[in-house]
Amino acid sequence: MDKKKTILIIDDDVHIRRILEIKIKHSGYDTLTAKNGKQGLEIIQDQKPDAVISDLNMPRLDGEALCKLTDPIKKDRPFLTIIITARINPQEQKWIDEMIDTMFMEKPFSPSKIVEALAKYFENTNS
Amino acid sequence: MKKTKFIILLLFLLVMAGIILISYAQFKKEIQRDYRQIKESGQSLIGVLSLPSTANLLTGPNDYFFRELSQNAIGNKIAYCIIHDAKTKPVLLFSPGNLDQQVPESIINQSLLEKGFVMQEFLTPQGIGLIEFAKPVFKENKMAAVVRLGLKLPTNTFFTYEHLVLPSQIIFFILLALVFGYYWTILSFKHLESIKMPGSETSRIKQGKGDVKDIIENLEVYLASVKEKTSLAESNRQKLESRLKISQFENKQFFNIFNAFDFGVLLIDSRDLVFFANTYLLDILGQSQEDLINFSYYDVIEHEGLKAFIMQLIAAERHLGSKDKNMTFEETDPGQFYQASSSNIADAEGALFIRLIRVVNVSREKEAEKLQQDFVNHIAHELRTPLTNIKAYNEMMMDGEINNAEMQKEFFNTINDETNRLAKLISSILELAETEMGQLTVTKDMVKTDWLMEGCIEAVEAVAKEKDITIERQVPDNFPKIMGDKEMLKSALINILGNAVKYSPESAKITFAIKEVDDMVVFEINDTGFGMDDKDLPHIFEKFYRSENDDVVEQNGSGLGLAITAEIIKTHDGFIEVESELDKGSRFTIKIPMGDLIIG
């Protein structure tokens, strides 16, 4: 039996953190949470989560900066990043496409869809 | 008129007679020349033919002689050549046209009987003029033979092409001279007409009897008139010169005006040549007037974007309308955005006269557009966050994933809170939009400050009570009154008082004071809350600005409240000041002019 995958949830909104935490735990994963990008980056470096779900607009370190900092880490240890954004625009689409294993989901998102994306990613990486 | 016609006819006849005489004289001269040439040729030829060697021809070979003679027969107009022996019997005969048959006996006899050179002119019965040269040939002092040579006299007639050339040439040159003379005269008269004396002046010339005095007087009058005309011409010249100078000055003035514009101007004429470029445009193009003026724009404009715009513009004159074009001048003005537009200037007939191209710096508009875009993006983000929560929590409930009663209650509360947050956000955005519209929506009325204070405290009381926060009132003996929009002012103060409650720890103390200073009402809200960082202070009135301080991030907020407050105070010609220190608290001071109170 594989070890439970750990998912890091980064969002400055307490309710979003809470609902994602419940949904992801219900789906059989372990969760970690962070209030901003800075905190999230520290957790990524220390606890090496298997996937990251992050808001785009956050205090301290936003989602874009976080992705750019974690992209070099992904070369050695790939993991999925799901960026949650209010509305995707062409510039955002461009930098997201340039990142390793990074996708976006527009608000208002469905927690089930996030879990589906996680499952699909782990399925592909394990096979 | 009849006299003139007669003179012209007479002149014409005289000219014709003259031409005929000249031609005839020329003709006669030619005849004489030909006649002389024939005589000379005959004499020299007969000299050669009568040499002693000719006698040998009578016995020896003579083919060569006849061949040579026949070759010369045409050129020398030889009619015949007969060589008689010593007994006058013709021995050798050369006569291409058999003209020797027509020579009268008398002529032959004369030639044969004479002991020396004979030259006789005669006409054949057929009317051909001939001249016979005859000379005896002596050999060893004895007459061995007689040579007779007949040459044709010139048969020139007057009416041959050759002779008609001369009169034709003369007539042609006379006609040419007449035509030139006619036009020259007309032009001279036209020129003279411009300085012709007016009628009044003509009357001034005395119709004298033609004595010297009259002539001199007339000449003086005429001279005065000429002087007058000359001075008029001079004044016209001066007027034209000054008009030219004015026009040049006006051009220069126009160019000065164009040069004063804070946008680029380029004028291109109908031949696609650059007519003018103002200094603004030259600066951003990095080119000089000399580089451009009177050259085809295509050859001299180095900026590809502008060149392409002009090309499209010219193409569009024939097809579709042209569109404004955005461009940048990175080399000369980096980071700035420009927009090119154009208009065509036509002359009175509607034909294209000049194309005017404007190149305007639109960086500020672009910046405003970006701010607007950012604002919309912020609104989208702010609205979608509570919406996401409502959707996500609802979805989990509907999927039956939450069975625990306590969690269900939590979920319902979150949905409720987020719905309220969404509603509040929408009203804030609407409020901001209304406030930004300024005076248009403000309904100023007399507002009692005690009512304002109580209204504000009432609005935040519930939350304050939850956190055990006390709000202390500091009031004057008499509450002042101000002119303003009571709902707006209340909203502005609630935002500040609400923030004081929101960003203060539990059991904190807040003071709300009202004072009257120099015709102004001063509201002061003091808290002992989290305070603000120095780096946050300059931005707190910006839309959607939120501090990254953890104590602030913890709390829900749109970042619109203080922006709305600042806008409302601005609408009321008031001021807002903030003093704050991190972990110590903040003091907001709002000053609103009392205005002209209407006591109803």
Write down the pTM of the prediction: 0.48
3-state secondary structure at position B287: coil
For chain A, the maximum distance between any two Cα atoms, rounded to a whole number of angstroms, is: 42
Calculate the alpha carbon distances from B142 to B115, B138, B145, B327, B469 in Å: 11, 5, 9, 122, 180
Whole-number pLDDT of residue A7: 95
Task: Determine contact, residues A83/A56, Cβ cutoff 8 Å.
Answer: yes
Residues from chain A that touch B380, judged by Cβ atoms under 8 A, are 86-87
Mutation for A interface: B378, B379, B388, most A CBs within 10 A:
B388
Asked if B385 and A59 come within 8 Å (Cβ–Cβ), the reply is no
Asked if A36 and B553 come within 8 Å (Cβ–Cβ), the reply is yes
Q: Regarding beta strands B352-361 and B264-269, do their DSSP bridges make them parallel or antiparallel, or are they unpaired?
A: antiparallel
Whole-number pLDDT of residue B493: 92
| CB contact B376 to A (< 8 Å) | no
| CB contact B518 to A (< 8 Å) | no
| CA B444/CA B434 separation, integer angstroms | 15
Tell me which residues of chain A, numbers 50 to 89, contact chain B at a CB-CB cutoff of 8 Å: 57, 59-60, 84-87, 89
Burial of residue B261, with CB atoms counted within 10 A of its CB: 0-12 exposed, 13-18 middle, 19 or more buried: middle
Calculate the alpha carbon distances from B228 to B201, B202, B225 in Å: 11, 14, 5
Segments in chain B below pLDDT 50: 201, 600
The domain A6-126 is placed in CATH, from the list 3.40.50.2300, 3.40.50.2000, 1.10.3720.10, 3.40.720.10, at 3.40.50.2300
Whole-number pLDDT of residue B531: 87
Angle, CA of B396, B398 and B399, to the nearest 5°? 65
- List, for residues A54-68, the tens digit of each pLDDT value: 998 887 888 889 999
Whole-number pLDDT of residue B600: 45
Whole-number pLDDT of residue B109: 87
- Would you say residue A40 has pLDDT above 80? yes
3-state secondary structure at position B93: strand
ipTM: 0.86
For residue B395, the chain A residue with the least C-alpha distance is: A110
Whole-number pLDDT of residue B314: 82
Helix and strand tally (H, E) in chain B? 17, 17
| CA B268/CA B295 separation, integer angstroms | 10
Mutation for A interface: B374, B382, B385, most A CBs within 10 A:
B385
| CA B314/CA B394 separation, integer angstroms | 61
Identify the H or E element spanning A119: helix A111-126
- List, for residues B255-279, the tens digit of each pLDDT value: 888 888 889 999 988 888 998 899 9
* Per-domain boundaries in chain A: 6-126
Residues from chain B that touch A114, judged by Cβ atoms under 8 A, are none
Residue B543 corresponds to which tokens in the numbers above? Answer: 């839309």
| CA B590/CA B521 separation, integer angstroms | 8
CA distance B380 to chain A (A): 6
3-state secondary structure at position B481: strand
CA distance A37 to chain B (A): 12
Torsion of CA B8, B10, B13, B18, to 10 degrees: -100
Contacts of B573 (CB under 8 A, 6+ apart): B592, B593
| CA B11/CA B200 separation, integer angstroms | 39
| CA A97/CA A90 separation, integer angstroms | 10
Q: Regarding beta strands A6-10 and A51-55, do their DSSP bridges make them parallel or antiparallel, or are they unpaired?
A: parallel
Calculate the alpha carbon distances from B312 to B94, B263, B302, B321, B354 in Å: 94, 21, 16, 9, 16
Residues from chain B that touch A112, judged by Cβ atoms under 8 A, are 395, 399
Calculate the alpha carbon distances from B188 to B145, B223, B300 in Å: 79, 19, 49
Whole-number pLDDT of residue B173: 87
Residue B194 corresponds to which tokens in the numbers above? Answer: 């411009």
